[in-house]
Chains A and B, each alone.
Chain A
């Protein structure tokens, strides 16, 4: 936006006192290369026409309607901060968590500082899902903690992982190795963990003609399948006592969670229904269908990695079914039915626009599309009677001050940044994240 419109001023409003969204709270600590993009984000935030306004929550600090009144254009880009549910019996039992919570926990998100998985009373963890988040979680559970000690992993998570008794991790998918949702980089990484026993049932690798067809058209799936086959063939068949194990389990759909015998309300295992693949009419894709055969897997720790979900905000149209804001090319629509009436001056971008998939580059293109829509509409927006001069940044800051909201500008975040790096240097880490709201605000203000 800054590049395309030399007259534009852009304020980035964030509910956290820290910028960079998922790069800070989602990207795994042992992926420092991926985080380099924050250099680029910082340059944007330091542009004189751009301001970072942290610690401001949409809905409680300022409403969506108020933002619309104060700015010509509002772009919603608050991502997906909740989780999809399986909707099966027993989902509320203790010991069942979302992968997002686990990721926020090891990444030091202040909302998960006092959340903590029990890694000491069991040796087995079941992860439901086989996407990249599932692989991240598996890798963090299985990598020697000493290797994580020099990353920016949250110190509370490192301490828990150092004492972890988890030795076996099951990654369970509804479909087969041809349909696995992960990418080659993440898979290669988890398969390459030192001294890790990999278990893949060779029978699961058998391909049907429909599988062959799917692979022909999908380079990622082809390369993922090759890696899985290679791992299945090459690994030693026996593992020694105490060795860490990673089991890829295919063709299993979670049916219910099992309570412990003493009815303590703690999960004791998962019942899976075996599945086969059937072509879904018209889509050309294969879906998992139950076979009526069941199988239990014992585990006192279950992490659901079946997708993130966006949360609605008061006054903003929301498609609860898809978990996104209804839009065409980033233009927010009044509702998700056939009517394509647009809400003037309101746009959406990123996971809130497309759903929770894709990488940094995906969001780059996604943003370009939204900016193209804004550019096309801009003349109309500026000419419209309702858009007389808007108070913009000044108006927002005045309102926030009157509500006693402590704003964290970019230079206050830089104080947090410096402090985290200083604390990190004492522990041979690139940074030691501040992980409570109290600490973050104290250092920044």
Chain B
């Protein structure tokens, strides 16, 4: 319990700081704080192993640093995977053989990793898309109110239970004359 709360706190701090940096990019102290925080995150294991949490929880700790995400493919089939905190949904999909294209390999230059966040509640937990992500979403097929690029959705504790649909089902409408194949 203690550990979970703690790592959540860390994530909130990261979130807060990132936002801070974006809004005051010229503030020189910003980079400094990120460095400290980064050091803190990296040292977390060592920190815990020397406190009351002890070594016994180490296995459990690892699990708690992953969240559960469900991908729903174009046939409606679901696949639940565990995604480590900090990993993008594009990387996670590729590590788990989920067919999500990533033509530009996460460099925000294409729209092929388009995913649809299935619950508004989860969508609202994400940072707003940047202008650059919106530029790419402009070009995505079957864009919805809760569309995002998989490479920009990064696992964080609050997203545990996230459900993402691959927009493949909408491909049928993307090109005129396409006849869906019976199964």
Residues of A within 8 A of B (CB): 31, 33-34, 36-37, 39-40, 183-185, 188, 219-220, 223, 328-329, 359-361, 364-366, 368-369, 372, 375-376
Contact = CB atoms under 8 A, between A and B. Distances in A.
Given A185-B135, A365-B171, A36 B107 contact: yes
Contacts of A328: 177
A372 B178 contact: yes
B136 A366 contact: no
Given A36-B109, A37-B110, A360-B112, A184 B104 contact: no
Contacts of A184: 131, 134-135, 138
Contact of B105 (A39, A183, A188, A369): A39
Given A329-B179, A359-B111, A359-B139, 9 more contacts: A33-B107, A37-B103, A183-B135, A183-B138, A184-B138, A328-B177, A360-B110, A372-B181, A376-B179
B181 A376 contact: yes
Contacts, number: 75
Contact of A33 (B104, B111, B112, B139): B104
Contacts of B175: 329, 365-366, 369
Nearest to A34: B109
A364 B86 CA distance: 29
Contacts of B181: 372, 375-376
A220 B138 contact: yes
Nearest to B102: A40
A36 B177 contact: no
B108 interface: yes
Contacts of B132: 185
Contacts of B131: 184, 188
B48 interface: no
Contacts of A220: 138-139
A223 B107 contact: no
B141 interface: yes
Nearest to B105: A36
Nearest to B112: A361
Contacts of A39: 105
Given A368-B171, A372-B178, A34 B104 contact: yes
Nearest to B135: A185
B155 to A, nearest CB: 23
Contacts of B111: 359, 361
The 3 closest A-B pairs by CB, nearest first: A33-B109, A185-B135, A33-B107
Given A31-B109, A188-B135, A360 B103 contact: yes
A329 B178 contact: yes
22 contacts: A31-B109, A33-B109, A36-B109, A39-B105, A188-B131, A219-B138, A328-B177, A329-B175, A329-B179, A360-B112, A361-B101, A361-B111, A361-B112, A364-B112, A365-B171, A365-B174, A368-B171, A369-B178, A372-B178, A372-B179, A372-B181, A376-B179
Interface in B97-125: 101, 103-105, 107-112
Contacts of B179: 329, 372, 376
Contacts of A219: 138, 143
Contacts of B143: 219
B165 interface: no
B178 A361 contact: no
A400 B174 CA distance: 39
A328 B178 CA distance: 9
B171 to A, nearest CB: 5
Given A188-B131, A329-B179, A361 B110 contact: yes
Nearest to A221: B138
A357 to B, nearest CB: 11
Nearest to A186: B135
- Scoring B105, B109, B134, B171 by chain A CB atoms within 10 A of each residue's CB, the highest score goes to B109
Interface in B119-177: 131-132, 134-136, 138-141, 143, 171, 174-175, 177
A361 B140 contact: yes
A418 to B, nearest CB: 21
Contacts of B138: 183-185, 219-220, 223
A361 B110 CA distance: 7
Interface in B56-81: none
A304 to B, nearest CB: 25
A364 B177 CA distance: 16
A365 B104 CA distance: 16
A167 to B, nearest CB: 28
A36 B104 contact: yes
A188 B130 CA distance: 13
Contacts of B134: 184, 223
Nearest to B101: A364
Contact of A361 (B103, B105, B108, B135): B103
A33 B108 CA distance: 8
Contacts of A366: 175
Contacts of A364: 101, 103, 112
Contacts of A36: 103-105, 107, 109
Contacts of B104: 33-34, 36-37
